[in-house]
């Protein structure tokens, strides 16, 4: 609810037309439109290098084309002078590239260490990679969630990341570069968003069948909204009583009996210790995407997903539970109450 409200304010309109310019408008994964200081420092470095490269490109291609036009064989052209080399020239075009590269190297090394430094007072969030979704844990708040990473705007956050299975690669192009999630090791990535907004994330490293559908969203909220989000996330879900005859209560029965609890957790509804292999569903309805952020969270998509998950994400660990249409409807009604 809260999340959806914010989304309406910032509703990202994607234009259906793409103009015949190289730069794609409104690309949500665009690494060239940074929206935070980390991504911006990378962007600046990229453009410095880019323009130097353009300069070299123009000189070399210019020399190439010029030679072809000027020295193309003509009937009257004399035999060329047999020049075997020119030591001065050769030293020159060895030394000049060295100087150019040295000029690029200095800010490169500086930025490497700047990006790696742990920011002060940063919120720590754990990112755990699974085939094929990202799990987020907030150790300071005792929150476990998935697919949508919620962060305070205009404040750095420190991601501590590892993988539960294969290599993954966490990428929010508008906030920072990529970083691998490795089983058995912890890697770190800093994020910092300028202002409240929604960003897209994508797994960069090939991680098996549904790699392309291992996506994510990052939601940056104002401190006030973030605090109320935390407060809400910390609450348990309220279980429906057995006497309740609503569709949602029926859905809870489906949830408890069809096998969902083998892998999923709804805090307060099923007494589970420790982690389960699938996303925590306690506040499922707050999240605007599901299934590894491959689908928008709406009835139509939920129906497709619950009918046959592997149809949407090949290789998924969520089985086709052979649910009937009425069971699916009840389950969706239940999921919609998990706010």
Partner 1 sequence: MTKIIEPKKQSNIFRRPSSETGIWSWITTVDHKRIGIMYGYAAFFFLLIGGLEALVLRIQLSQPDNNFLTAAEYNAMFTMHGTTMIFLAIMPISAAFFNYLLPLQIGARDVAFPRLNALSFWIFIFGGAFLYSTFIFGTAGAPEGGYLAEEVGWLGSAPNGGWFGYQPNAGMQYSPGTAMDYWAIGLQILGIASLISAFNFITTIINMRTEGMRFMRMPVFTWMTFAVSFLLAFSLPIIAIALFYVTFDRKFGTTFFLTEGGGDPVLWQHLFWLFGHPEVYILILPAFGIVSEVLPTFSRKPLFGYAAIVFAGFGIAFIGFGVWAHHMFASAISPVAQAGFGLSTMVIAVPTGVKIFNWLGTIWGGKLKLNTPMLFSLGFIGMFVIGGLSGVTHSVVPADTQQTDTYYVVAHFHYVLFGGALFGIFSGLYYWFPKVWGKMYNETLGKIHFWLMLIGFNLTFGPMHWLGLQGQVRRTWVYAEETNLAFWNVVVTIGAFIIAISIIVFMVNWIFSKRNGEEAPFDPWDARTIEWTIPSPTPVWNFSKAPIVKSLDDFWHAKYSEDDEGRAVRRESADQLLQELEEEGLNPSENIELPNPSYYPIILASGLPFLGYAVIYYSVPLAIIGSLLLLIGGFGWGTEPLEEHIEESEHE
- Single residue of 5, 8, 80, 224 touching partner 1 by CB under 8 A: 80
Only one residue has tokens 């990428």, namely 171
Q: Is 56 in the site for partner 1 (CB under 8 A)?
A: yes
What are residue 333's DSSP bridge partners? none
Q: Does 321 participate in binding partner 1 (rule CB under 8 A)?
A: no
Decide if residue 262 touches partner 1 (CB under 8 A).
no
User: Can residue 58 be called a binding residue for partner 1 (CB under 8 A)?
Assistant: no
Best CA proximity match to 116, nearest among 190, 169, 185: 190
Site for partner 1 in 228-247 (CB under 8 A): none
Residue 7 near partner 1 by CB under 8 A:
no
Nearest to partner 1 of 126, 336 (CB atom): 126
CA-to-CA distance for 206 and 203, rounded, in angstroms? 8
Minimum gap (Å) between residue 298 Cβ and partner 1: 14
Burial class (CB in 10 A: 0-12, 13-18, 19+), 339: middle
Q: Which of 155, 178, 276, 339 binds partner 1 (CB under 8 A)?
A: 178
Q: Is 106 in the site for partner 1 (CB under 8 A)?
A: no
* Spatial distance between the Cα atoms of 208 and 168, rounded to a whole number of angstroms: 10
Select 215 or 283, whichever has its Cβ closest to partner 1: 215
71 contributes a contact to partner 1 by CB under 8 A: yes
- Of positions 154, 160, 165, 336, contacts partner 1 by CB under 8 A: 165
Q: Which of 303, 158, 157 is nearest to 220 (CA)?
A: 157
Among 36, 129, 173, 251, binds partner 1 (CB under 8 A): 173
- Residue-wise over 205-238: b if at least 16 C-beta within 10 A, else e? bebeebbebbbbbbbbbeeebbeebbeebeeebe
Taking the CB of residue 29, how many other CB atoms lie within 10 A of it?
Answer: 14
Residue with smaller CB distance to partner 1, 265 or 295: 295
Site string for partner 1, 15-34 (x = CB under 8 A): x--x---xxxxxxxxxxx--
Strands 156-163 and 123-130: parallel
Q: How many residues bind partner 1 (CB under 8 A)?
A: 101
């Amino acid at each position: 609810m809260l999340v959806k409200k914010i989304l309406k304010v910032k509703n990202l309109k994607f234009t259906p037309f793409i103009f015949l310019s190289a730069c794609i408008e409104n690309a949500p994964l665009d690494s060239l439109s940074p929206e935070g200081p980390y991504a911006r420092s990378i962007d600046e470095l990229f453009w410095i290098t880019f323009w130097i490269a353009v300069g070299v490109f123009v000189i070399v291609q210019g020399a190439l084309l010029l030679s072809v036009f000027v020295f193309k064989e003509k009937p009257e052209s004399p035999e060329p002078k047999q020049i075997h080399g020119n030591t001065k020239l050769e030293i020159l075009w060895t030394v000049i590239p060295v100087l150019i590269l040295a000029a690029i190297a200095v800010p490169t090394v500086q930025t490497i260490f700047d990006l790696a430094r742990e920011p002060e007072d940063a919120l720590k969030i754990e990112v755990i990679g699974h085939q094929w979704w990202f799990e987020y844990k907030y150790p300071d708040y005792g929150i476990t969630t998935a697919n949508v990473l919620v962060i305070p705007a205009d404040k750095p956050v420190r991601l501590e990341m590892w993988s539960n299975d294969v290599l993954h690669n966490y990428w929010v192009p508008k906030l920072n570069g990529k970083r691998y999630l490795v089983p058995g090791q912890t890697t770190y990535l800093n994020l910092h968003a300028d202002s409240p907004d929604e960003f897209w994330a994508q797994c960069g490293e090939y991680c098996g069948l549904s790699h392309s559908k291992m996506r994510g969203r990052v939601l940056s909220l104002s401190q006030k909204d973030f605090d109320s989000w935390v407060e809400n996330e910390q609450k348990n879900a309220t279980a429906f009583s057995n006497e309740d005859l609503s569709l949602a209560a029926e859905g809870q029965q489906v949830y408890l009996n069809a096998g969902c609890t083998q892998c999923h957790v709804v805090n307060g509804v099923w007494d589970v210790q420790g982690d389960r292999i699938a996303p925590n569903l306690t506040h499922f309805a707050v999240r605007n995407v599901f299934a590894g952020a491959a689908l928008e969270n709406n009835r139509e998509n939920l129906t497709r997903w619950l009918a046959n998950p592997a149809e949407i994400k090949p290789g998924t660990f969520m089985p086709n539970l052979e649910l009937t249409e009425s069971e699916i409807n009840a389950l969706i009604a239940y999921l919609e109450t998990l706010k």
